[in-house]
A and B are shown apart, each in its own frame.
Chain A
């Protein structure tokens, strides 16, 4: 190379910017291929959205991810996470699954019908013989988008192939145009059940009202119910630990407190990174011989790390138009002196104080959508109708409690969608200006179902607003969970943009590995690293051993090395 390196500077094969679940799982994959890998994380602890914190002694809260969605990931086998101490905290009784028999509405807990349960099981592949749920999930999330020369059709989209083969009676070209509501109207019966599923899918990323997202939206719901909505032992951060330790055991270096200032680009090629002045690393330049991967959100990647000097204005405009809507969450955490009691009309609700409310009708759902993504102001929904989702501490078994203070009880997280700070008419910090007011609003919303969330019982009400979430965790742009809306314009070959859809950039040797920069988005699935591996094999960067297997629906790009191992 033509530029000069100082002897004190380090050289790795791969430099990965961002130490969240995607960046570090990719490091594990690449280190397992024998490459030297350095991950640079800005925060003092790696893990990204897989984080917990203990704001007061004995209370473990979840500011972001709370339950496991990654059940079907090839990463479990390929990275052998069980070896690195991975254990689950099973709580199969508590779930948004067909096993539950009621749905929470303003009228109380209402039952749903057999047709709902059976219909849901049918479209999610659970009734197949054998079941094809895992196959459907892998097809939906764990396959790189097809290469640009391949025309995407109802015949070759992976999940469509699965339906065609395993449940041809469900397959129809319209599946690609449907919203999840359309799909549910065809197969399910009761409105509250549909609305509960719709809310769950919205909170999982791809919403039930997005055009053409029926199957990915449903996929998010199955991904969480596949584990009975359980969590890893020790919380999502300890799931991350297993991934991190796999990377470390294979020789990857993962450094915290090392924010990156810019990606070094020479002659159109990414060759390393400069660290910011406050980084915990003396020499601020680190070189990458084979590739730089940005596991940072799409806006910062292009606007800051690459910089406008290396990107044409047309592309930059498209990047800045990527929608941050569809998932800005106001997260509350309640610590109380008494166990929260359900008000009498919910006595049939079996799941303590957790769940989804109110699921009466899609009118409430649409009102909430309008409030969050239409009005662009503070919430206008009355607290009595605003939709929420809660996870009580009883959801972890007694051997892995979230709260160990005697006679204290925790609900964390309690989610409510609010407008993304970036689009708020009064500016990004608008909702933070009246945090006390919005906290009271959240408590009132919860109090529609519980009767003793009052000053006598409440010890702490912590909250992270979307704005605070963005500052805590800069990758969570929009204060949401997916970093970019999971609608048809930002999914599959369109995520984040058609020209960037295979995790590549116009800069040679610079790849994208963040949930906002590629299919299938968020949920800590180990999917982006797996999908990106196909591309890195195609480009001759990674050469995995026998442990590797590609997605069965993967199509290699013409003229490149196929990620399908030769027999």
Chain B
């Protein structure tokens, strides 16, 4: 399968070579986000002739670092808190360090500052968090320490490694977890809602508020039962977030470099308009520009509606699959982010100066009720004056985001509805002002005269930038029991293989989900390699091996 170049005559009659109009591949990956890049990197290195096609002019998807504060200031307008760096198999399987990929994992992960100037801290080191909780409740401080003993094991022995293994049907999984005590405890925890879990374990309302915010900020419904196993995962991982030095895009750049070194091809500005079919199997993809890429294997990292309805077409789908895709629910909330450049880093007015070095700072909430009330509002399409959210001063961690001295880059992010009352066009400016007011209240130096420039990003903007984050859904679909685990996106497709011959899924809407875990990409790479008969050059991580031995054999 030798590529044949396209030859285009120039005005002067000379010949200029371009990428071919039609080309043949072993596997085509749609979307160069973190998962698409990971699948591509594994398969290319396994010897498959891989093409990764990406709609934007740059790879990375949610791993985007852009000069959205133009000119001179960059921000991570999407993924910034990388929670699964400790578990991602790509970290052991590829020498990404070679591409100058550096992770920073600050001890002070999250600070919550309250209106009265007090604060609570959530840190990587358990005792630092306990120290902070002791200010308000000895009982909770002790409870936190005890809780982390088991929750850390739940994550490191079960949920962390399971992220990178194909999903197990729910009942089988319940049986398997019965084998160990920590497994049984996790099952018990799974019954509760996040709010119940926090209420059960902590007495102090503000401690509950902090823990609940961290566990649910990425879209768990605090009152939904049957998703409790995500609570230890998101909380414990929320204590181990990493910052990608130089911006999240560097992670995408490192993965893309691995694809190219393994002779894979990446095409940007290459929007797929159709997945070609032949006798019920995939035959390749059609690009908007008119080029055709042929392959018997197509791996889509897009959301279910785009993959199945827009690209494959309803007429080619089995009925059950069509129904499950029709019923797919997008995230219950999206995000409104205000990026800005200020003359200074925010200095929070509070009892602990360490707060100013926090990776993430939550403000606007004084109680658990307020946190829950805001989420209720958002789910009803509203945002009122009582909102809260989290902020990060990115340039505190990363001098590379600042090209012109004299400015510091920060953002504030809050949960927000896609369909906001009044519409985003109208509400955008008003919310920006409300955020600046609130921010100045928490950090007095964030006053208007210190703000050099702002750049808001609404849920609608998220969808414009990344069209398959429909309705601003950063995880390509809600986290509910019916859309998680073996059910994500549905029981027929959660292994990454779909009922359509040669079509696989590798994006956030597939098991285990979004948040740059790399899970869907890795699971798909394994499945496709097995089905294509490629020799796997990689091995599971030690944690995965232990999990397989304990629960799967």
A contact residues vs B (CB 8 Å cutoff): 43-45, 52-58, 60-61, 63, 71-72, 76-77, 80-90, 92, 97, 125-126, 130-131, 133-134, 225-228, 233-235, 237-238, 241, 245, 248-249, 251, 253-258, 278-282, 399-400, 404-405, 462-465, 468-469, 471-472
Contact = CB atoms under 8 A, between A and B. Distances in A.
A53 B70 contact: yes
A46 to B, nearest CB: 8
A131 B12 contact: yes
Given A53-B66, A57-B457, A400 B269 contact: yes
Contact of B71 (A43, A257, A400, A472): A472
A87 B289 contact: yes
Interface in B271-314: 271, 288-291
Contact of A248 (B249, B261, B271): B261
Given A58-B464, A280-B246, A468-B71, A134 B266 contact: no
Given A57-B464, A86-B19, A87-B18, A249 B455 contact: no
A400 B246 contact: no
Contact of A405 (B19, B101, B464): B464
Given A44-B250, A56-B455, A77 B100 contact: no
Contact of B18 (A82, A399, A463): A82
B464 A44 contact: no
Contacts of B267: 85, 87
B159 interface: no
10 contacts: A53-B66, A83-B5, A84-B265, A226-B12, A234-B57, A245-B266, A278-B399, A278-B400, A399-B290, A468-B71
Residue among A71, A87, A89, A130 with the most chain B CB within 10 A? A87
Given A57-B461, A71-B14, 18 more contacts: A52-B57, A54-B68, A54-B465, A55-B67, A87-B19, A87-B267, A88-B8, A130-B13, A133-B12, A226-B11, A234-B57, A253-B99, A255-B100, A257-B100, A278-B400, A464-B70, A468-B404, A471-B72
Interface in B249-274: 249-250, 253, 257, 260-261, 263, 265-271
Contacts of B461: 56-58
Contact of A280 (B16, B20, B58, B250): B250
Contact of A82 (B17, B257, B405): B17
Given A238-B269, A257-B250, A462-B71, A76 B17 contact: yes
Given A56-B461, A280-B245, A280-B250, A249 B16 contact: no
A234 B291 CA distance: 15
A44 B401 contact: yes
B465 A226 contact: no
B61 interface: no
A43, A57, A71, A237: residue with the most chain B Cβ atoms closer than 10 Å: A57
B269 A233 contact: yes
Nearest to A228: B11
A253 B288 CA distance: 32
A462 B70 contact: yes
B23 to A, nearest CB: 10
A72 B16 CA distance: 9
A472 B402 CA distance: 9
B100 A245 contact: no
Listed from nearest, the 5 A-B pairs whose CB atoms lie closest are A234-B269, A257-B246, A57-B465, A57-B461, A55-B70
Contacts, number: 186
Contacts of A254: 99, 257
* B10, B268, B269 interface centre (most CB from chain A within 10 Å): B269
B17 A77 contact: yes
B465 A234 contact: no
A53 B67 contact: yes
Nearest to B69: A55
B260 A248 contact: yes
Given A53-B67, A248-B257, A88 B268 contact: no
Contacts of A280: 100-102, 245-246, 250, 400
A249 B18 contact: no
Interface in B437-473: 455, 457, 461-462, 464-465
B433 to A, nearest CB: 18
Contact of B403 (A87, A233, A472): A472
Given A57-B462, A280-B102, A44 B71 contact: no
Given A44-B401, A85-B19, A235 B10 contact: no
A255 B245 CA distance: 12
A89 B288 CA distance: 12
Interface in B1-41: 3, 5-6, 8, 10-14, 16-20
A405 B464 CA distance: 7
B426 interface: no
Nearest to B59: A241
A464 B56 CA distance: 23
Nearest to B73: A472
B328 interface: no
Nearest to B77: A57
Contacts of A399: 271, 288-290
B457 A400 contact: no
B7 to A, nearest CB: 9
Nearest to A460: B70
A253 B250 CA distance: 14
A280 B245 CA distance: 7
Given A226-B12, A468-B72, A55 B57 contact: no
B247 interface: yes
A44 B65 contact: yes
A472 B74 CA distance: 10
Contacts of A278: 399-400
B149 interface: no
